[in-house]
Amino acid sequence: MKRLFAIICCLVAAPALALGPATRPVAPPVADPSVAALIGELGDADFRARDSAENHLVDLGRSVEPSLRQAADNSQDLEIRNRAAAAIARIEQDIANAPTYITLHARAEEARQVMAEMSRQANITVSVMPQQMWNGPADPRINLDLDHVPFWKALGEFCKQAGVWPQPMGFPDNGTLTLFPAANSPLGGICDDRGRFTIFASQLVRNRIVTLNNGAVQRDDHLQLMVCVDPKFRLLSHGMPHLDVAIDDKGNSWAGGVGLSPMFRGVYMPMESSWSFGALIPLQSPPRPATKLSEIRGTIPALLATQIQTLEVNDLAKQVGQTHNMGDRSVKIESWDATAGRCEVSLDAGGSPRVLIRQPIGRGMMILIPQQQRLFDEVRTMQLLDANGQAVASFQGTRFDGTHFVAMFGFPPADPPVTLKWEYVVAKSTVQIPFEFKDIPLPAN
């Protein structure tokens, strides 16, 4: 207790870690005659004036929500009530779709404290592996001055100083972003911030490949990107990158390389999704030497979740044999063995698991995936939680029993799960993630 009191007193006297909100602070609402006038114009006889007033109020954002709610609830004019309600819905949608920003000022602060504050502002759980990595006197000290910086760019600055970076963990772990020790982080490369997406150019690779049986020499040149999605959004999958422009300082085009499949290299989160992935941009080097890529620009298609439903089943030990429906899916607790620490949960296959499903990947292209793979992606996002809401069960595989896809979980008998939580993607949307970088230095070879 004395140690905790000393830390608190120190922070009060001379705060080393200045904390801030995840988004720009909004001034408290004040009585503004112009806002009242705009709300009055929502009922104007001219529809252009009504539209203009609604758009202006939406641009003012959260600060005018109290006034809009009062108008939506109490105005005698039906048009004003409807327009005010529509403006509120648009403002809330804008807030939901706004990127996550970090404001934080640290002076020689412990890494775990800085990490905890970034986690709070981004509303995600950030952990380290091994768990005892930052429990000693030699823990790294962090110095940051961040004002309204995109989450992934802020995390990249933190990772460089802390000597960590996020790496794949396999199956989802309760929405936790896990940081591992690493000498170099791809989040420290050249950054292109696109709001919901932050793209890092981490490596430009130039290789010579020699075929030994005939001595033929080929070039293998590519740019490696790390694409990071704002933590409040759900990335489901991504497609092949499309390169629009790649020009060096001599005016040569580097476009036209052989297409390579992008590599998933991100931290998986619930709902068959990840926060980041890696992509290789193939390049074709010209014969004339150059010193830098003056401009490289393109897009990567990605599939995002736009509507989600959540199913929670409590008292799991008492739910054996019970079926729970959500949308077009039905979930059943097939078995429960507290002594052995095993539980089986089935998901209605909705037809043959070998049926092919069409899934768009952007630019008018589609791929066929087996229903079996889709169901596998869905069941692996189920979480078995203890009384404190912590994931305590590990995913151990699947099997088929004819019409159902069965997921098998293991858990410690001393700490059995009590709740099944499953987030199911109801609707999806394909977006094009743009990227653009300038003046990337080229290796001498």
pLDDT at 18: 56
What angle separates helix 33-41 from helix 65-74, to the nearest 10 degrees?
40
pLDDT at 330: 84
Q: How many domains does the structure of the chain reveal?
A: 4
Cα 91 from Cα 26, distance rounded (Å): 13
Q: Are residues 334 and 245 in the same domain?
A: no
In a domain, 25, yes or no: no
Cα 326 from Cα 312, distance rounded (Å): 10
Q: What is the mean pLDDT of residues 184-206?
A: 83
pLDDT at 79: 94
- Between residues 145 and 14, the one the model is more confident about: 145
Which one of 121, 154, 181 terminates a domain? Answer: 181
Q: Are residues 195 and 298 in the same domain?
A: yes
Which one of 51, 68, 97 terminates a domain? Answer: 97
Distance between start and end Cα atoms, the chain: 61
Structure tokens at 349: 């296959």
- Between residues 405 and 323, the one the model is more confident about: 323
**Residue range 415-433, pLDDT digits in tens:** 899 999 887 777 778 888 9
Specify the CATH number for the domain of residue 93: 1.25.10
Closest CA to 103 of 157, 160, 59: 157
pLDDT at 351: 52
Percent of the chain at pLDDT above 70? Answer: 78
**Residue range 293-308, pLDDT digits in tens:** 999 999 988 888 777 7
Please give the torsion angle defined by the CA atoms of residues 150, 151, 154 and 155, in that order, rounded to the nearest 10 degrees.
-150
Per-residue pLDDT for 13 more than 90?
no
In a domain, 311, yes or no: no
Q: Are residues 168 and 202 in the same domain?
A: no
| Mean pLDDT, all residues of the chain | 78
- Between residues 405 and 357, the one the model is more confident about: 405
In a domain, 17, yes or no: no
Closest CA to 157 of 343, 325, 149, 370: 149
pLDDT at 329: 78
In a domain, 23, yes or no: no
Specify the CATH number for the domain of residue 246: 2.60.40
Cα 245 from Cα 272, distance rounded (Å): 32
Q: Are residues 153 and 208 in the same domain?
A: no
| Confidence label for 355 from pLDDT (cuts 50, 70 and 90) | very low
Which one of 143, 159, 181 terminates a domain? Answer: 181
Per-residue pLDDT for 290 more than 70?
yes
Q: Are residues 297 and 435 in the same domain?
A: yes
pLDDT at 373: 63
Are the beta carbons of 237 and 213 closer than 8 angstroms? no
pLDDT at 202: 86
| Confidence label for 3 from pLDDT (cuts 50, 70 and 90) | very low
Specify the CATH number for the domain of residue 143: 3.55.50.30
Residue 70 to residues 52, 77, 90, 91, 113, Cα–Cα distance (Å): 20, 12, 16, 15, 41
* pTM greater than 0.95: no
Beta strand 141-150 with 101-110 is antiparallel
- Between residues 143 and 366, the one the model is more confident about: 143
In a domain, 343, yes or no: yes
In a domain, 5, yes or no: no
Per-residue pLDDT for 12 more than 70?
no
**Residue range 98-157, pLDDT digits in tens:** 788 899 999 999 998 999 999 889 888 787 888 788 877 778 899 999 998 889 889 988
Are the beta carbons of 225 and 201 closer than 8 angstroms? yes
Q: What's the 3-state SS for the chain?
A: CHHHHHHHHHHHHCCCEEECCCCCCCCCCCCCHHHHHHHHHCCCCCHHHHHHHHHHHHHHHHHHHHHHHHHHHHCCCHHHHHHHHHHHHHHHHHHHHCCCEEEEEEEEEEHHHHHHHHHHHHCCEEEECCCCCCCCCCCCEEEEEEEEEEHHHHHHHHHHHHCEEECCCCCCCCCEEEEEECCCCHHHCEEEEECCEEEEEEEEEEEEEECCCCCCEEEEEEEEEEEEECCCCCEEEECCCEEEEEEECCCCECCCCCCCCCECCCCEECCCEECEEEEEEEECCCCCCCCEEEEEEEEEEEEEEEEEEEEEEECHHHCECCEEEECCEEEEEEEEECCCCEEEEEEECCCCCCCEEEEEEECCEEEEEEHHHHHHHHHCCCEEECCCCCECCEEEEEEECCCEEEEEEECCCCCCCCEEEEEEEEEEEEEEEEEEEEEEECCCC
Question: Residue 148: which domain range?
Answer: 100-181
